[in-house]
Amino acid sequence: MEDTILPKSYRVAILGSTGAVGTELLELLEARNFPLGDLKLLASPRSAGTTLSFQGESLTVEAVTEDSFHNVDLVLASAGGSTSKLWAPKAVQAGAVVIDNSSAFRMMADVPLVVPEVNPDAAQFHQGIIANPNCTTILMSVALWPLHCVQPIKRVVVATYQSASGAGARAMEEMKEQARAILAGETPKTDIFPYPLAFNLFPHNSALTEIGYCEEELKMVNETRKIFGTQDIHISPTCIRVPVMRAHSEAINLEFASPFPVAKARELLSHAPGVTLLEDWQKNYFPMPMETSGKDDVFVGRIRQDISHPCGLELWISGDQIRKGAALNAVQIAELLVAKNWLKVPASVLKV
């Protein structure tokens, strides 16, 4: 899609433009030459007046209002669930398609949940809103889909190692300050996270449900099933916050109905879109967040036979949470809409 020649005629707004994902969206629109005719930066009133650089110019961030979406074709939203619930419907009524990075709309039946490498055709059925999946779900889906297409996956047991970036720019700064405090012999302060993350780790800080799984873990279950178009995959996640600045990693155990040769899995993943296979068994060198940060692909390695189950495979993956886990996936959806001429709100929705 990057090489497609398209007219620069699309009017885009970024909602939540000053956050970690918002600024990454801005960088990606420039780096990937998205066909822009106009760009509007939106945020909360407290961020209004901030300037951000784009294509050598300084753009001023505006406070989002009822009139913000007039003459806008596309809204890339990454400002949190409550903000999306408030403004996304207003944007659609103004005629804009919204690609939303929050959890607000992901599980709604009439909202496509899209990972372009997995289910691109789902995007065409949007009613004005397309949801970006959770970061851990996106990374896992890109890695598992090529295998699932050859032999359906029966069961997934996954442990995630989630960086500070998953909680935004302020969380990343908080971990830096905690590290400085601990090294200076001081008590680290917490604001974004419930416990110090520097030199520590703890189960994901989203709310626990009555069945003992936190909301982050259930997102992986429900979203993966929706993206893959099946309820037949059994998924058991354990999500952990780790003292890594950026990029999430996941240890994944897969079960199939019959043995899945390691060599076949390696061959499939070496040619899969959005995947980089990284394995050096002699050096015990596999994907690491320090090296996957800032990269577009999901890096996969340490593919091996599960010695406890004849039909099992083990994978290790790492990918940039802000990039493919959020901003890049949204921009890829936007590129898909443009390439397929799906970037328009259905007339039936506008009549409501």
248 catalytic, yes or no? yes
Report residue 243 as tokens.
């003292």
**Strand, helix or coil for residue 111:** coil
The Cβ of residue 75 has, within 10 Å, a number of other Cβ atoms equal to: 30
> Whose CA is closest to 29, among 48, 16, 10, 46?
10
Catalytic residue among 126, 148, 204, 248: 248
126 catalytic, yes or no? no
**Strand, helix or coil for residue 15:** strand
The Cβ of residue 54 has, within 10 Å, a number of other Cβ atoms equal to: 17
Report residue 225 as tokens.
């099933």
> Whose CA is closest to 144, among 79, 84, 220?
220
Helix (H) or strand (E) holding 29: helix 20-31
Side-chain-side CA neighbours of residue 130 (13 Å): 32
Catalytic residue among 126, 135, 148, 239: 135
Residue type at position 68: S
Interacting residues of 236 by C-beta distance below 8 A, sequence separation 6+: 155, 156, 157, 158
Tell me the C-alpha distance between 139 and 301, whole Å: 13
Phi-psi region of 168 (alpha: psi -120 to 50; beta: other; left: phi over 0): left
Please write down the long-range contacts of 330-333, taking CB distance under 8 Å and 24 or more positions apart: 330/25, 330/76, 330/78, 330/99, 330/101, 330/132, 331/25, 331/28, 331/29, 331/32, 331/34, 331/76, 332/1, 332/116, 333/99, 333/114, 333/116, 333/123, 333/130, 333/132
CA distances to 52, 108, 228 from 118, rounded to whole Å, are 33, 19, 8
DSSP state, residue 326: I
Residues annotated as catalytic are 135, 248
